């Protein structure tokens, strides 16, 4: 136990970050040096109900309370003191989706998450209307699809928000969003760091045609940039977060951000020619651009950094879910044999085995599509493993092809940036479960993207640490100090990490796999139709 840490906790000189990811809600408390003091988490999972991927709002609060409770327990066990006062707090969550409420704060329809691919008509219509790519998972696509579907709740909508925005609103009373998160709701004008006025006008014209009384700007959250004060934790908010009632009201909150923005912050990749890739249940790469893209690409989303800089985002709905399912099968097998091997060791063993396989994974092919995949134009997913009689079917190649497949759709999107737009990257910073086993995920990613891939020692802290850094920046920044300078000079000055450079044999092997992957997409399409 450090007396300095104990005093910082008792004096409320700490900052809390909480992120609601797709499978885990994580809390991180940091000190003045920006290093984690303690963390807590809980597992949760989406449900597929009535054709919709969703989370129940009661599970949001149960999960938040459990994550915070586990954080508080660790603090007490390590430092013999209770967490009562906090200087600042930040909330982050998986981006996009659809949460709509009436004037009495009643949820009008179950939460529709980013994972749903049910807004194709709206996505295409708005992309044509705006001449700006509107992905299916964006909040405005969900809203417009509900309008096109003539859903009965439309005229009752009083507020539209994201999961991060919802939690922040409930704890502070403030209907706001950070600009990075807002850019996944509705297009942002990076010159004003607000919703694009031309597109606001175009959308309102559509609302008039549908005889809808409200205007889009009336129901969207207010946009704030990094460093802005976004409200304070209320008495009721403190009780709602800390079920023991010990947490005091009053901490300032930074603007709520999405997991894309916090990933950029946590990897110090918010300057131009930098990028980061978050690889877990889904995978997305965020590339901070030197200039705007030459034209619209349906596969590329345009969002922003938490400071409003334009970012090209390539997002694939599926990454490690199918791979994890196969590892679970191996875990079942070891248990059936009566062999006691923990999950971490099993993952490490299987991932390392993949590096001993043929560079092209022996001619094997898999598709990790647990859900639909917009980059390859599939509205539903069917996980598949395919081989020919001539394929080299062994454990090393089996694991390698599933690691390859985790990045297949992402690769298709990234090649648009590299080949069509000649985007230059100095390095890609990786974070998320795909990189948990040292070297392996990095080497596969480096082969797929043909750029150096770095993983920092702090990468495992992820978005919860990233949103804590944004909260820290809000209260500790000097006058006119940019977020880029704050991170580079005060947070990442002595950051250690590992960088893997592309191995040409691996690059050639992944390219061979991608040729099979693209040709075989017709098999996936047929599987979707055949297995309704």
- Which segment of 169-178, 326-335, 420-429 scores lowest on mean pLDDT? 420-429
State whether 329 and 472 are in the same domain.
Answer: no
Q: Where are the alpha helices (DSSP H) in 242-341?
A: 259-266, 321-336
State whether 524 and 469 are in the same domain.
Answer: no
In a domain, 231, yes or no: no
How do residues 52-85 score in pLDDT, each as one tens digit? Answer: 999 999 999 999 999 999 999 999 999 889 999 9
In a domain, 289, yes or no: yes
Q: Is the pLDDT of residue 242 over 80?
A: yes
In a domain, 478, yes or no: yes
Residue 364: predicted pLDDT: 98
What is the arithmetic mean of pLDDT over 329-336? 97
Residue 408: predicted pLDDT: 98
What is the arithmetic mean of pLDDT over 215-242? 98
In a domain, 125, yes or no: no
State whether 299 and 325 are in the same domain.
Answer: no
Which residue range is the domain that position 313 belongs to? Answer: 267-317+421-501
Checking DSSP bridges between strand 310-316 and strand 283-288, what pairing results, if any?
antiparallel
Residue 513: predicted pLDDT: 98
How do residues 177-216 score in pLDDT, each as one tens digit? Answer: 999 999 999 999 988 999 999 999 999 999 999 999 999 9
What is the arithmetic mean of pLDDT over 124-132? 96
Residue 461: predicted pLDDT: 65
How do residues 8-27 score in pLDDT, each as one tens digit? Answer: 999 999 999 999 999 999 99
In a domain, 14, yes or no: no
State whether 494 and 517 are in the same domain.
Answer: no
In a domain, 102, yes or no: no
Beta bridge partners of 112: 98
Please, which pLDDT band fits residue 260 given cuts at 50, 70 and 90? confident
Q: Is the pLDDT of residue 271 over 90?
A: no
Looking up residue 281, the CATH number of its domain turns out to be: 3.30.420.40
Report how far apart, in Å, the C-alpha atoms of 91 and of each of 177, 181, 464, 471 are: 10, 11, 8, 9
Report how far apart, in Å, the C-alpha atoms of 168 and of each of 171, 231, 232, 443, 483 are: 5, 9, 10, 38, 21
Strand segments, DSSP code E, in 260-408 are: 274-279, 283-288, 301-304, 310-316, 365-367, 384-386
Residue 34: predicted pLDDT: 95
How many angstroms separate the CA atoms of 365 and 20, rounded?
33
Please, which pLDDT band fits residue 457 given cuts at 50, 70 and 90? confident
State whether 463 and 488 are in the same domain.
Answer: yes
State whether 441 and 459 are in the same domain.
Answer: yes
State whether 480 and 465 are in the same domain.
Answer: yes
Please, which pLDDT band fits residue 509 given cuts at 50, 70 and 90? very high
State whether 291 and 430 are in the same domain.
Answer: yes
Residue 458: predicted pLDDT: 65
Checking DSSP bridges between strand 384-386 and strand 427-431, what pairing results, if any?
unpaired
Q: Is the pLDDT of residue 1 over 60?
A: no
- How many domains does the chain fold into? 2
How do residues 338-365 score in pLDDT, each as one tens digit? Answer: 999 999 999 999 999 999 999 999 999 9
State whether 312 and 348 are in the same domain.
Answer: no
How do residues 386-400 score in pLDDT, each as one tens digit? Answer: 999 999 999 999 999
| Contacts with 207 (C-beta within 8 Å, 6 or more apart), sequence order | 147, 214, 215, 216
In a domain, 180, yes or no: no
| Contacts with 43 (C-beta within 8 Å, 6 or more apart), sequence order | 23, 24
State whether 402 and 359 are in the same domain.
Answer: yes
In a domain, 2, yes or no: no
What rounded mean pLDDT belongs to the chain?
94
State whether 345 and 402 are in the same domain.
Answer: yes
State whether 473 and 346 are in the same domain.
Answer: no
Q: Is the pLDDT of residue 460 over 90?
A: no
Q: Is the pLDDT of residue 256 over 70?
A: yes
Percent of the chain with pLDDT over 70: 99
């Amino acid at each position: 136990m450090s007396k300095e840490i104990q005093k910082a906790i008792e004096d409320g000189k700490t900052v809390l970050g909480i992120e609601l990811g797709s499978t885990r809600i994580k809390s991180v408390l940091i000190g003045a040096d920006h290093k984690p003091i303690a963390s807590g988490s809980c597992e949760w999972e989406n449900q597929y109900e009535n054709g919709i991927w969703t989370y129940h709002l009661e599970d949001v609060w149960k999960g938040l309370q459990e994550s915070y409770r586990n954080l508080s327990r660790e603090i007490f066990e390590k430092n013999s003191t209770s967490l009562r006062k906090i200087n600042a707090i930040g909330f982050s969550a998986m981006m996009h989706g659809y949460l709509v409420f009436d004037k009495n704060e009643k949820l009008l329809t179950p939460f529709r998450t980013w994972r749903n691919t049910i807004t194709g008509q709206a996505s295409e219509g708005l992309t044509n209307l705006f001449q700006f790519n509107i992905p299916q998972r964006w909040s405005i696509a969900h809203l417009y699809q509900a309008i096109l579907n003539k859903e009965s709740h439309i005229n009752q909508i009083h507020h539209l928000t994201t999961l991060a925005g919802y939690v922040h609103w409930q704890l502070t009373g403030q209907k706001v969003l950070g600009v990075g998160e807002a850019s996944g709701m509705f297009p942002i004008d990076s010159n004003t760091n607000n919703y694009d006025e031309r597109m606001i006008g175009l959308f309102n014209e559509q609302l008039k045609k549908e005889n809808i009384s409200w205007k889009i700007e009336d129901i969207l959250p207010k946009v704030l940039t990094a460093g802005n004060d976004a409200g304070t934790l209320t008495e009721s908010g403190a009780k709602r977060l800390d079920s023991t009632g010990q947490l005091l009201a009053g901490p300032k909150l930074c603007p709520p951000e999405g997991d894309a923005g916090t990933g950029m912050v946590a990897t110090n990749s918010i300057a131009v020619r930098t990028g980061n890739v978050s690889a877990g249940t889904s995978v997305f790469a965020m590339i901070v651009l030197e200039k705007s893209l030459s034209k619209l690409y349906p596969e590329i989303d345009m969002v922003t950094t938490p400071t409003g800089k334009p970012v090209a985002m390539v997002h694939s709905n599926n990454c490690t879910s199918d791979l994890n399912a196969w590892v679970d099968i191996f875990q079942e097998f070891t248990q059936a044999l009566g062999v006691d091997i923990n999950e971490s060791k099993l993952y490490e063993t299987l991932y390392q085995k993949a590096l001993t396989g043929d560079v092209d994974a022996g001619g094997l092919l898999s598709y990790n599509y647990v859900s639909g995949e917009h980059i390859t134009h599939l509205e539903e997913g069917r996980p598949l493993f395919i081989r020919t009689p001539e394929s080299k079917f062994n454990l090393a190649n089996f694991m390698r092809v599933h690691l390859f497949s985790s990045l297949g759709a992402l690769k298709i999107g990234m090649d648009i940036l590299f080949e069509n737009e000649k985007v230059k990257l100095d390095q890609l910073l990786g974070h998320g479960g795909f990189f948990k086993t040292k070297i392996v995920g990095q080497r596969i990613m480096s082969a797929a993207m043909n750029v150096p891939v770095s993983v920092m020692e702090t990468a495992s802290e992820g978005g919860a640490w990233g949103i804590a850094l944004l909260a820290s920046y809000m209260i500790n920044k000097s006058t006119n100090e940019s977020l880029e300078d704050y991170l580079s000079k005060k947070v990442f000055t002595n950051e250690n990490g590992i960088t893997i450079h592309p191995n040409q044999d691996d690059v050639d092997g992944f390219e061979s796999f991608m040729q099979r992957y693209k040709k075989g997409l017709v098999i996936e399409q047929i599987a979707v139709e055949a297995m309704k």
